[in-house]
Amino acid sequence: MRATPAAAVAVIPKREVLRWPLLVGLLLLAHSVGAEELAGRVVSIQDGDTLTVLVSQKQIKVRLTDIDAPERKQPFSTRSTKSLADLCAGKDARIAEQGKDRYGRTLGRVFCTSVDANAEQVRRGMAWVSERYAPRGSPLYAVQAEARAAKRGLWQDSKPVSPWEWRAAKRGERGG
């Protein structure tokens, strides 16, 4: 497990917290420059990090990049799914596409009515920053540290288990 940089756990003055969504959105948008952009309407939410968007009369399943939401039957799974639904269900969305995953889903940063859904899920404590996929210098780590310090969402739990650890434990239970 990677150590959290000391700067990421600093207490942020309230007036500065209000600037975080704009700053994070701009930084993450800059990270996405050069990616193909899709636009459509969100027609369904599968879980806290996956949704389906209708683009030119074609449904495209999108996995939000750099985050990992609780799995089904894991604590906070239902709340994480509801949070993403509140952000995006039935709304226009822009997706900065970043390729496909092994299941054929489009990977991307999703903006629903100009809100960066990836960052907002982390800010609300409804998803972890994916240690495996998020770049080391991603501003999402600071957003996660702030959510953790504020004990929002899954950070209310005294020992939250990340989805990757939860999946590994479940594989171990099945013997594979």
Active site residues: 63, 71, 105
d(CA 151, CA 134): 22
DSSP assignment letter at 175 = T
Burial of 16-55, coded b for 16+ CB within 10 Å and e otherwise, reads eeeebeeebbebbeebbeebeebebebeebbbbbbbbbeb
Rg, the chain, Cα only: 16
Q: What are the structure tokens assigned to 52, written together?
A: 């389906």
Contact at 8 Å (CB) between 55 and 6? no
Strands 50-55 and 106-112: unpaired
Of 116, 36, 112, 101, nearest in space to 63 by CA = 101
Strand partners for 58: 55
